[in-house]
């Protein structure tokens, strides 16, 4: 990794932690509050790429593991990783990687803007929602004995909020690509 890569990884780890301190947003048409920290998966992957995005989440998960209060609501500790929601936390690493990998393949400088928006949005959904949910639901079922379908249906309440996050991440990634086209050069 270059110095630039290390700086970007640390910067995005800090952004992810900061997103955890934003208060949840409650919307009348969504049954659960929207928290911002999981949006970091989409932002890191689409803006700094697969390897650097995943590395930023490895750094965050290490901070959680040693007990730093970096999760939403000031939580931290190994018990959070080993608890029922630990699969989502570990899934963030893989989600950021997949988001970045797809964005790297689908979005290129010089493409029409619409294709860039679509590429970033698809990458955000694939990595930030599908991959994270896969890890989260699998661990939830394993750690609590919850039947798969019950866990899957329970997660559907979070999809509308995550789609809103995907739109925000798409807009941010496109703005960064337009304003700083050298940033997406992958590590």
pLDDT of residue 157: 86
Please report which residue ranges of 35-112 form alpha helices under DSSP H: 39-48, 50-65, 78-82, 86-106
Q: What domain range is 39 assigned to?
A: 3-185
Mean pLDDT by groups of 10 residues along the chain of 187 residues = 92 95 78 82 95 97 96 90 93 97 93 96 98 96 95 90 95 91 57
Q: What is the pLDDT of residue 88?
A: 94
pLDDT value, residue 181:
66
Q: How many domains does the chain have?
A: 1
Q: Please count the other Cβ atoms lying within 10 Å of the Cβ belonging to residue 122.
A: 17
Distance CA 87, CA 160 (A): 20
Report the CATH number that the domain containing residue 42 is assigned in CATH: 1.10.1760.20
The whole-number pLDDT of residue 80 equals 92
Round to whole Å and give the CA distance between 103 and 119: 6
State the pTM of this model.
0.92
pLDDT score of 54:
97
C-alpha to C-alpha distances, 5 to 10, 37, 179, nearest whole angstrom: 9, 21, 19
For 64, residues 6+ apart whose C-beta sits below 8 A from its C-beta are: 70, 71, 76, 77, 78, 80, 81, 89
């Amino acid at each position: 990794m270059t110095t630039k890569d290390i700086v970007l990884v640390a910067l995005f780890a800090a952004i992810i932690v900061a997103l955890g301190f934003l208060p949840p947003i409650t919307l009348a048409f969504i049954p659960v509050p929207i928290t911002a920290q999981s949006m970091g998966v989409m932002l890191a992957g689409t803006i700094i790429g697969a390897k650097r995005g995943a590395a930023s989440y490895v750094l965050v998960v290490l901070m959680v593991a040693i007990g730093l209060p970096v999760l939403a609501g000031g939580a931290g500790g190994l018990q959070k990783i080993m608890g029922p929601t630990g699969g989502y936390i570990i899934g963030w690493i893989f989600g950021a990687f997949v988001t970045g990998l797809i964005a790297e393949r689908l979005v290129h400088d010089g493409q029409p803007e619409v294709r860039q928006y679509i590429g970033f949005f698809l990458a955000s959904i694939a990595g930030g929602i599908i991959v994270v949910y896969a890890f989260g639901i699998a661990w939830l079922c394993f750690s609590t004995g919850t039947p798969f379908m019950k866990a899957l249906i329970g997660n559907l309440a979070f999809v509308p909020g995550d789609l809103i996050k995907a739109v925000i991440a798409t807009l941010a990634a496109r703005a960064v690509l337009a304003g700083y086209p050298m940033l997406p050069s992958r590590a």
